[in-house]
């Protein structure tokens, strides 16, 4: 049981956004997508969530074709955090996070839902902001609020027999360094609860530190995929990003990182 992507192709008009993608997202792994701007990372993620229909090829979620699921069925199997999340009206942080409980609202008592909301807000360190209006928050605080909402969706049942999935499109783009590492550490924890995580990140060191499986995309193709140490090789980095850089780990005590010698492209 996993998400299996087979010969996936996505076109918009004449333009090929994704080409011949083969990828498996297992429920016990943190899979990270990296690649330069416009490589097709978000498109791949949106295809997996069902927001974009494939032009050709297949996506199977737990062995069933993705398009055969209803929105309601999918909502119990996966949660999604998108890049843009404008909220038109002034909901409080607690109200926004509570919306994540919509999926199982009928199944559990109000007090239990409140506990879940408290839990995830504490997790994302936004419990002190609970009664603030979402629109008055800083970018990072808004992002953490949305993350808390997405987590709430997967908080009940806490563990599930059939695998579930979490999709995060640049979840760390507005976060400070502490919260960047915290969010990915949390994503990694989720994989122990039978939740497969697919996330887009830009920071290569962050990717090196956390990915179980790293996928490098360029111009709609997968250049290489595998363990971070194998993917973040100098020849791949120079070919895709135009940087001269290396995968580096000081010792077991330190997280690995990508160190840059120089940028080659103007």
Helix (H, G, I), strand (E, B) or coil at 142: helix
Q: What are the backbone dihedrals phi and psi of residue 115, each rounded to the nearest 5 degrees, phi first?
A: -65, -45
- List beta partners, residue 4: 24, 60
Q: Is 13 in the site for other proteins (CB under 8 A)?
A: no
Residue 90 is a binding residue for other proteins (CB under 8 A): yes
Residue in 6, 28, 95, 212 binding other proteins, rule: CB under 8 A? 95
Q: By CB under 8 A, name the one of 72, 161, 192, 266 that touches other proteins.
A: 72
Q: Per rule CB under 8 A, is residue 248 in the interface with other proteins?
A: no
Among candidate residues 34, 33, 39, the one with its CA nearest the CA of residue 5: 33
> Can you tell me the distance from the alpha carbon of 7 to that of 126, in angstroms, rounded to the nearest whole number?
41
Q: How far is CA 73 from CA 3, 68, 77, 102, 157, in A?
A: 15, 10, 7, 13, 15
Burial class (CB in 10 A: 0-12, 13-18, 19+), 259: exposed
Stretch that binds other proteins, among 89-97, 195-203, 214-222, 251-259 (CB under 8 A): 89-97
Q: 92, 173, 174, 224: which one contacts other proteins (CB under 8 A)?
A: 92
> Is residue 266 near other proteins by the rule CB under 8 A?
no
By rule CB under 8 A, what string of x and - marks binding of each residue 36-55 to other proteins? -------------xxx----
Q: Which stretch binds other proteins (CB under 8 A): 1-9, 122-130, 179-187, 191-199?
A: 122-130
Interface residues for other proteins in 134-153 (CB under 8 A)? 149, 153
Q: Is 37 exposed, middle or buried (0-12, 13-18, 19+ CB in 10 A)?
A: exposed
Count interface residues toward other proteins (CB under 8 A): 42
Q: Which of 70, 109, 178, 253 binds other proteins (CB under 8 A)?
A: 70
Q: Which of 94, 144, 156, 164 binds other proteins (CB under 8 A)?
A: 94
58 binds other proteins (CB under 8 A): no
- With CB under 8 A as the contact rule, which of the stretches 18-26, 85-93, 193-201, 236-244 interacts with other proteins? 85-93
Minimum distance of other proteins from residue 129's CB (angstroms) = 12
Quote the CA–CA distance of 19 and 217 in Å, as a whole number: 10
Positive or negative, the Cα torsion across 156, 159, 163, 168?
positive
- Which are the contacts of 226, defined by CB distance < 8 A and separation ≥ 6? 213, 214
Rounded CA-CA distance 105/118 in Å is: 15
x/- string (CB under 8 A) for other proteins, residues 161-190? ------------------------------
Task: Tell me the C-alpha distance between 254 and 235, whole Å.
Answer: 24
Residues 6+ apart with CB under 8 A from 186: 123, 151
Stretch that binds other proteins, among 13-21, 24-32, 70-78, 189-197 (CB under 8 A): 70-78
- Give residues in contact with other proteins (CB under 8 A): 49-51, 70-76, 78-80, 82, 84-92, 94-96, 99-100, 102-103, 105, 110, 114-115, 118, 122, 127-128, 130-131, 149, 153
């Amino acid at each position: 049981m996993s998400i299996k992507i087979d010969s996936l192709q996505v076109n918009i008009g004449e333009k090929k956004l994704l080409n011949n993608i083969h990828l498996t997202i297992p429920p016990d792994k943190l899979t990270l997508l990296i690649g330069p701007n416009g490589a097709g990372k978000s498109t791949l993620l949106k295809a997996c969530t069902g927001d974009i229909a494939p032009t050709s090829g297949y996506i199977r979620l737990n062995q069933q074709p993705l398009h055969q699921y209803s929105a309601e069925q999918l909502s119990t199997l996966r949660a999604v955090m998108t890049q843009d999340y404008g909220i038109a009206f002034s909901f409080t942080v607690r109200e926004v996070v509570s919306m994540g409980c919509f999926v199982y609202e009928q199944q559990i008592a109000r007090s239990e839902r409140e506990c879940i909301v408290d839990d995830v807000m504490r997790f994302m360190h936004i419990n002190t902001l609970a009664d603030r209006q979402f629109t008055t928050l800083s970018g990072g605080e808004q992002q953490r609020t949305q993350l808390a909402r997405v987590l709430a969706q997967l908080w009940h049942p806490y563990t599930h027999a059939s695998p579930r999935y979490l999709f995060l499109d640049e979840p760390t783009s507005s976060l400070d360094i502490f919260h960047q590492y915290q969010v990915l550490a949390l994503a990694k924890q989720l994989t122990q609860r039978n939740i497969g995580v697919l996330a887009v990140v830009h920071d290569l060191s962050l990717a090196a530190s956390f990915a179980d499986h790293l996928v490098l995309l360029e111009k709609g193709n997968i250049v290489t995929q595998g363990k971070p140490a194998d993917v973040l090789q100098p020849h791949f980095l120079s070919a895709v990003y135009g940087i001269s850089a290396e995968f580096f780990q000081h010792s077991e005590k330190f997280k690995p990182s990508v160190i840059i010698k120089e940028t080659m492209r103007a």
